[in-house]
Chains A and B, each alone.
Chain A
Amino acid sequence: MITSDPSRRRFLAGLGALGTAGLMSGCVTSTSSSGKGSSGGAVTLQSNLSAPQAKTAMEKLVAAYGRSGKHTASLNTVAAETFRTQLPTYLTSGNPPDVYTWYPGSVADAYASKNLLLDLGDVWRHSPDLAKYSDALKKLCTSRAGKKVFVPTSYYWWGMFYRKSNFAKWGVKEPKTWDDFLGVCDTLKSKGVAPIGNGMGGNTAWIGSGWFDYLDIRINGAAYHRDLLAGRHRFDDPEVRKVFDRWKEALPYFDPDGTAIPFQDATTKLLQGKTGMMLIGTFFADSAPKDALDDIDFFRFPVIDPKVPLAEEAPTDGYFASAHTHRRAPVEDFLAYLATAEAQEIYLKNSSGTALPTHPDAADSGTALVKKGRKLVEGAADVTQFFNRDSSDALQPSADNALTKFLDEPRQLSSVLTAWQRDAEKIWGK
């Protein structure tokens, strides 16, 4: 009775065939695949912007592109952590999503050097918008092989954030130099406030890398910093030791709970006035209450060596495309659209609004804070991205371990740096 049912027999046979075919071709380590997707249809955009506001902004952006352009795009939002771990798989698959949210600089270059990224030279040549972008951005989006592989759309900046009302209450002013800074810390400590907030607990140990980056670019300069992160210097060099010697001067002023709480809790403490100031990127404002936003201000990370040109940390966000895309023309059209002032304004208006557009003519949200931030970055002698973006995501955990251990046991500095170098060599030496 069962055997006489042809559809089931066919189903089983089909299943078997499927399994065999899978067995023969299914090799997880194969880097090329033969699957040819359809070349028509919407451009697929894989996005890691899963925070509610950012996700809505992306949806509006994609919808606006569908209305204005010749082509359409479809958005696929993935949780940030999943996106990060899956990105190599996306890029190496035979039928990948077309366009991705990600970072320029060494992170993009790592993929470009393996020929996984679409050459966007035509987009950069023909787009009247991209022609206006700053030279620093053009350099940032060029791979080491000289190809344009990235379209930047927004950036944000890091700074020492504080509440204006609290600084007034405590009677302190924005410090300019390292000594001024330590003086402010002293005053705050005498008033019973933990001067420097920190949020390296939970799952946000990477926040501490901001301190390492800034101290290094203030003491050794941005060029040295980039070389160090690329493996051309050693983490146990005397230059790096100098960074930590400075850090030790500020250590007594750090919030002792800083390695136990995530940055979201740390910024809450800052807004509540339990800590005085905090080195962080503007993204923390996404979750800050609206009434506190007007009270927030920041100052530039204090100058340590006046001879070193002032670089700032301003991570750039944007898009790259897969080299295996089957929709080259629509992808190029979509990326050119993302580079326009109009597209960037749509995104910024609908997201939290603390990011800055890369298009020089695009309007930012216009608040005093954002204007100050734009001036800071535009006046910087050099711009760094952030630890993981200037090196690789793979190197970030080694920094997290080293910096957390340093904060807990500053006397173990030598062994911390030796272990850091050893960990880093395993990553670089692949």
Chain B
Amino acid sequence: MAVLTATGDRSGSRDASRARRRATRVPPVVLAFVLVPLLAEAFWVFWPALQGFYLSLTSWDGVSAPRFIGLGNFQEMLHDAVFRTALLDTVLWLVLFGGLSAVLGLGAALLLQQERRGVGFYRAALFLPVVFSLVATALVWQALYQPDGVINQILGGVGLGGLRHAWLADRSTALYAVIVPALWRQIGYVMVLYVAGLKGIDPVLYEAAKVDGATRWQQFRNVTLPQLRSVNAVVLSVIVIDSLRSFDVVWSLTRGGPYHSSELLSTYMYSTAFQSLRLGYGSALAVVIFVLAFGVIASYLVRAFKEAD
């Protein structure tokens, strides 16, 4: 009996160790499921990205073989007035488009978070622009901005005819005229992210704050905002990425014009690469955009995770 038990025990432990060994050995199917997507990703994402980095060190017209010129493209950027304009406009875009969409999106979310009658309608109305293609959106706004378009007609109608403007053709208004349609769309998107975040906050926290006599502002400042930290990280990433890749709306409304006054890094990259056929310089601009986006997001994420620890 004892012997039996002992052998049973021994064989049992051997079985267990074999099973453990089997568990640490990854089955080939799982390996394939990891490696094949990795390979596809490498081919479709990493390889082109590396090529982009390589191209940024060349002078290439898309037809002849690329010529290696080291950091020449980046040196040229230092003296390129249009690049400076595009960089400044991109920063302005990041601040205005990013800042306003975050603030207004949060505001809309706070207003529309309670389940009241009709709130669904307003939420849907604010979210609706997100489902339209930006190019279609741009076409509508282009019509509004025309010299004899709705905006100018309204201005004339209310006696502000002096403010009538060729909004998209005037270099002092073009950039702002382009930000408005982009904002119109982005606010709904950010609002949905924040509504989801607000729904996730435990109501007990608000009750406790109320018991402690916190004002509405204090509740917002000390309960809502800290609780939204994880959503903020998402919103920030979304906003930074969306700002830096904002292209379609600018391209369809002004093409970065008139004479570069609404030029963003993204539109400058496109026109340099595919209109002027200077693909090397265009790639260098793309690298700058990548570094900017990656830098902003990485630094924020690192900080956010540090605080979380």
A: residues with CB less than 8 A from B are 2-3, 12, 15-16, 19-20, 22-23, 26-29, 31, 85, 88-89, 91-92, 110-111, 114, 116, 201-203, 205, 257, 259-261, 265, 392-394, 396-398, 400-402, 404-405, 408, 419, 426-427, 430
Contact = CB atoms under 8 A, between A and B. Distances in A.
B259 interface: yes
A111 B147 contact: no
B169 interface: yes
B66 A2 contact: no
27 contacts: A15-B40, A16-B36, A19-B39, A23-B39, A23-B47, A29-B54, A29-B55, A31-B64, A89-B62, A91-B63, A92-B62, A92-B63, A201-B168, A202-B142, A205-B255, A257-B148, A257-B166, A260-B168, A260-B169, A261-B146, A396-B275, A404-B257, A404-B258, A405-B259, A408-B258, A427-B277, A430-B59
B43 to A, nearest CB: 5
A110 B62 CA distance: 12
Contact of A408 (B148, B168, B171): B171
B267 to A, nearest CB: 11
B65 A29 contact: yes
Interface string B266-281: 0000010011111000
Interface stretch (B27-35, B99-107, B180-188, B225-233): B27-35
Contacts of B64: 31, 114
A7 to B, nearest CB: 14
B257 A2 contact: no
Given A16-B36, A260-B146, A427-B276, A22 B43 contact: yes
B43 A19 contact: yes
B35 A16 contact: yes
Contact of A261 (B39, B55, B58, B147): B147
A257 B169 CA distance: 9
B63 A28 contact: no
A228 to B, nearest CB: 18
Contacts of B42: 19, 23
Contacts of B61: 88, 430
Given A16-B36, A22-B43, A116-B63, A397 B168 contact: no
A311 B263 CA distance: 37
B65 A31 contact: yes
Interface string B50-78: 01001100111111111000000000000
Contact of A401 (B35, B40, B148, B260): B260
A257 B147 contact: yes
A209 to B, nearest CB: 14
Chain B, interface size category, equals 35 or more
A400 B257 contact: yes
A151 B176 CA distance: 47
A398 B259 CA distance: 9
A29 B66 contact: yes
A259 B278 contact: no
A335 B281 CA distance: 38
Contacts of A397: 271, 275-276
Contacts of A88: 61-63, 277
A26 B50 CA distance: 12
A-B interface, 4 closest residue pairs, ranked by CB to CB distance from nearest: A260-B166, A260-B169, A19-B39, A257-B147
Nearest to B252: A203
A269 B60 CA distance: 43
B156 interface: no
A300 B43 CA distance: 57
A88 B255 CA distance: 22
Given A29-B66, A402-B259, A427-B276, 17 more contacts: A3-B29, A16-B35, A16-B39, A19-B40, A23-B47, A26-B43, A26-B47, A29-B55, A31-B65, A257-B166, A260-B147, A261-B146, A401-B257, A404-B257, A405-B258, A405-B259, A408-B259
Contact of A111 (B48, B59, B63, B257): B63
Interface string B177-195: 0000000000000000000
Interface centre among A201, A261, A265, A402 (most CB of B within 10 A): A201
Contact of A393 (B43, B59, B171, B275): B275
